[in-house]
């Protein structure tokens, strides 16, 4: 996302205490988003979107950082601009999702209904990822 477009999203709050709360919330949301990159049932993008929203109200520096981050900034910006996901990102996400789910199904639980639920969730998330527009870059 270009810096010009990012500037218009900024709505920095003047109250320092409220800014601190938004900054802290944004930081926590980034942490949860990063965990979601590695935990198959925890979503990632929504936490980065919420963190970007918090940073847009608390810190210009962190707002630019999250959108220009080397690891997830492009995915966040593409998602927010409805550009979709790259084919590589889809394949990686689906492979990682199913690896985590299958490990959970095979080793983490003996309850059949939990195994079925995990597989249904994985199928639903896979369907969602496939249905997202595939971008070129």
Q: Measure the CA–CA gap between 135 and 123, rounded to whole angstroms.
A: 22
Average pLDDT for the chain: 88
Tell whether the model's pLDDT for residue 48 goes beyond 60.
yes
Q: Is the pTM of this model over 0.95?
A: no
Cβ neighbours of residue 125 closer than 8 Å, sequence gap 6 or more: 97
Average pLDDT estimate for 6-13 = 81
Question: Does the pLDDT of residue 42 top 90, yes or no?
Answer: no
For residue 36, is pLDDT > 90?
A: no
Task: Give yes or no for a contact between 23 and 57, defined as CB atoms under 8 angstroms apart.
Answer: no
Selected residue with higher pLDDT from 127 and 45: 127
What are the structural domain ranges in the chain?
A: 3-80, 85-135
- Tell me what pLDDT residue 1 has: 45
| Across 59-66, average pLDDT | 94
Cβ-Cβ contacts under 8 Å for 87 (sequence gap 6 or more):
134
């Amino acid at each position: 996302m270009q810096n010009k477009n990012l500037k218009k999203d900024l709505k920095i709050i003047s109250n320092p205490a409220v800014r601190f709360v938004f900054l802290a919330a944004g930081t926590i949301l980034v942490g949860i988003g990063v965990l979601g990159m590695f935990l198959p049932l925890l979503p990632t993008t929504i936490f980065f979107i919420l963190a970007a929203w918090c940073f847009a109200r608390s810190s210009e520096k962190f707002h630019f950082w999250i959108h220009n981050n080397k690891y997830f900034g492009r995915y966040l910006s593409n998602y927010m601009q409805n550009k979709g996901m790259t084919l590589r990102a889809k394949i990686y996400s689906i492979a990682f999702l199913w690896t985590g789910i299958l490990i959970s199904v095979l080793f983490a639980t003996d309850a059949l209904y939990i195994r079925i639920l995990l597989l249904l969730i994985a199928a639903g998330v896979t369907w969602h990822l496939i249905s997202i527009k595939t971008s070129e870059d």
